[in-house]
Amino acid sequence: MNKVILIGNLTKDPELTETPTGLSVCRFSIAVTRDFTNSDGTREADFFNITVWNKTAENCGKYLRKGTKVAVTGRLQNRSYEDKEGVKRTVTDIVASEVEFLTPKSQQGDEMDATPVRRERPVLEAIDDNQLPF
């Protein structure tokens, strides 16, 4: 079984793009605070990259902003690439099947509108049918 449930806050605005075949994909990162404090008495956080597809991706791009609290349910996915120096790197992402918006609308501020934040950015990795959540 490969299932992850995280609750955290977005570290920056989400990036909504489309694949060459027209599928919506949204990427964002969340910070999740740990349950314990370090030796200084402060709570540390872990940062996770989230990828969301289709209608859920469109809703995330439309309504989420930096600082918004979300609950993410999904699965872990590893991918590898070579960096500029030719060193092989492995990255673990969370491919979300569900994203629940936890920040109340009253706390989201006036800058929240119904216009999706679309970034013109090419999809870097090839997408095959086994990677899609449906």
Two structure tokens written together for 92: 């673990």
Asked if the 4-35+42-104 domain carries CATH number 3.20.20.70, the reply is: no
Distance, CA of 30 to CA of 12 (rounded, Å): 8
Mean pLDDT of 45-60: 97
Evaluated on CA atoms 56, 15, 119, 124, the torsion sign reads: negative
pTM: 0.75
Residue 114 confidence (pLDDT): 45
pLDDT per residue as tens digits for the range 86-111: 999 999 999 999 999 998 876 765 44
Mean pLDDT of 70-76: 98
Quick one: pLDDT band at residue 22, thresholds 50, 70, 90? very high
Residue 127 confidence (pLDDT): 53
Distance, CA of 43 to CA of 40 (rounded, Å): 9
Residue 38 vs residues 33, 46, 50, 97: alpha-carbon distances, Å = 12, 13, 26, 32
